[in-house]
Chains A and B, each alone.
Chain A
Amino acid sequence: MADGLKRERGWSGSAPPFNTHTAKMVVFALLIINKAGGLIYNRTFSPGLQNLTSNDALILAGTFHGIHAISRSINPAPQPPPQPNARRPPTTGIESLESSHFRLTCFQTPTGVKFLLFTSPEQPNTDVVVRRCYELYGDFVVKNPFYSMEMPIRVEKFERALAGYLVRP
């Protein structure tokens, strides 16, 4: 199956820029989108993705915010039978997206903040990584008394903690 997959990937065009055998498991970038769809944090950790201008990144965040909402409304799966005295489980939007060059893991917090983690397709446990980023956000950004909610994140300790966690030596 893995062999077939590689052939499939090579089929759609020229060869990918890196060899899928030797590609390191890497985290490419982290984006944080606030509950209104605005980009509040954008950081690249290792090269691999195309460089985006800050304008493009804002557009991407807004587009993804919309698609995330649409993906909830086109849910074709049957609803589980309603449990008495239980709230209906909210449908989730896009949780992970795969392309031939990267994988995008999206984690939406109960307050509507979205964490978008771009990794290589081989990276395991991306849901754990993205939850850890959420913890760091809670510790260093939300608990910072000088940070105003929904605004772009410029917190030095958060930068350092993320770099310590996501950048491999």
Chain B
Amino acid sequence: MSVYSFYIFDRHTECIYSKRWAQAAIQRNSATSALSNGDVAPATRKALTVEDDAKLIFGTVFSLRRIVRQLGGDDDSFLSYRTGEYKLHYFETPTQLKFVMLTDTRVGNMRTVLHQIWATLYVEYVVKNPLAPIEHPKGVGVSNQLFEGGLESFINTIFSPQS
């Protein structure tokens, strides 16, 4: 079980937070600390930057969400999709904040986990932060130390490095 990346999109379709995890093996070899930003691109990356990826992922999720609404009715919600290589998990709050996580295919339902990240980390450390702006253009106020640290340790408890 491993996690590849995590994105938050606001209701203006902007990516306000993104984080990528390098593969566990690479991380252990290079002996980076747990809090270093996981911005190391996997070897497969050539042309796509992190921003390009975020835009593609938003577009995918947006279209799939519309397809699901169209087919299942207005109270249907898109949960996840799986390809041969990875799995994308999706969670949307009532305020149209979108949480997206990419993991490997063996991971089960992550909707509760994304809900937890929203309720216990995002709301506590970003929404309740008096210094953070109400909207987060270009991700201002989201990537504070408490949120990053909380996210890192929360993900580490779910995807322990041994497994």
Tell whether, in the assembled complex, residue B104 and residue A77 are in contact, meaning their CB atoms are under 8 Å apart: yes
Q: Mark A75-102, 1 if CB is under 8 A from B, else 0.
A: 1111100000000000111111111111
Q: Mark B101-121, 1 if CB is under 8 A from A, else 0.
A: 010100011011001000000
> Is A72 close to B, CB under 8 A?
yes
Tell whether, in the assembled complex, residue A97 and residue B81 are in contact, meaning their CB atoms are under 8 Å apart: yes
Stretch at the interface among B9-17, B57-65, B151-159: B57-65
Tell whether, in the assembled complex, residue B71 and residue A118 are in contact, meaning their CB atoms are under 8 Å apart: yes
Tell whether, in the assembled complex, residue A79 and residue B44 are in contact, meaning their CB atoms are under 8 Å apart: yes
A73 and B47 CA atoms in complex are apart in Å by 11
Tell whether, in the assembled complex, residue B75 and residue A99 are in contact, meaning their CB atoms are under 8 Å apart: no
Total interface residues on A, using CB and 8 Å? 42
Given A5-B112, A16-B75, A99-B68, 13 other A-B residues pairs in contact with their CB atoms under 8 A: A1-B109, A50-B73, A56-B70, A64-B67, A71-B83, A74-B56, A76-B4, A76-B102, A77-B86, A94-B81, A96-B81, A101-B76, A118-B71
Tell whether, in the assembled complex, residue A71 and residue B73 are in contact, meaning their CB atoms are under 8 Å apart: no
> Is B51 close to A, CB under 8 A?
no
> Is B82 close to A, CB under 8 A?
yes
Chain A residues, CB < 8 A from B83:
71-72, 75, 91-95
Tell whether, in the assembled complex, residue B75 and residue A75 are in contact, meaning their CB atoms are under 8 Å apart: no
Q: Mark A109-134, 1 if CB is under 8 A from B, else 0.
A: 00000000010000000000000000
Shortest Cβ distance from A33 into chain B, in angstroms? Answer: 13
Which residues 57-78 in A have Cβ within 8 Å of B in the complex? 60, 63-64, 66-67, 70-78
Q: Mark B1-12, 1 if CB is under 8 A from A, else 0.
A: 000110000000
> Is B136 close to A, CB under 8 A?
no
> Is B72 close to A, CB under 8 A?
yes
Most buried by B among A52, A60, A77: A77
Tell whether, in the assembled complex, residue A78 and residue B23 are in contact, meaning their CB atoms are under 8 Å apart: yes
Tell whether, in the assembled complex, residue A100 and residue B67 are in contact, meaning their CB atoms are under 8 Å apart: no
Which residues 100-148 in B have Cβ within 8 Å of A in the complex? 102, 104, 108-109, 111-112, 115
> Is A4 close to B, CB under 8 A?
yes
- Assuming the contacts A50-B70, A74-B53, A94-B83, asked whether A8 and B104 have C-beta atoms less than 8 A apart, the reply is no
> Is B161 close to A, CB under 8 A?
no
A72 and B149 CA atoms in complex are apart in Å by 31
A102 and B112 CA atoms in complex are apart in Å by 19
> Is A14 close to B, CB under 8 A?
yes
A1 and B113 CA atoms in complex are apart in Å by 12
Shortest Cβ distance from B18 into chain A, in angstroms? Answer: 12
Contact for A78 among B44, B53, B59, B115, CB less than 8 A: B44
A99 and B74 CA atoms in complex are apart in Å by 12
Chain A residues, CB < 8 A from B71:
49-50, 52, 60, 99, 102, 118
Please, could you name 18 A-B residue pairs with CB atoms under 8 Å apart, sorted by A?
A1-B109, A12-B77, A49-B71, A60-B70, A67-B60, A70-B56, A73-B56, A74-B56, A75-B44, A76-B102, A78-B23, A91-B84, A92-B84, A94-B82, A97-B81, A98-B79, A102-B71, A118-B71
> Is A145 close to B, CB under 8 A?
no
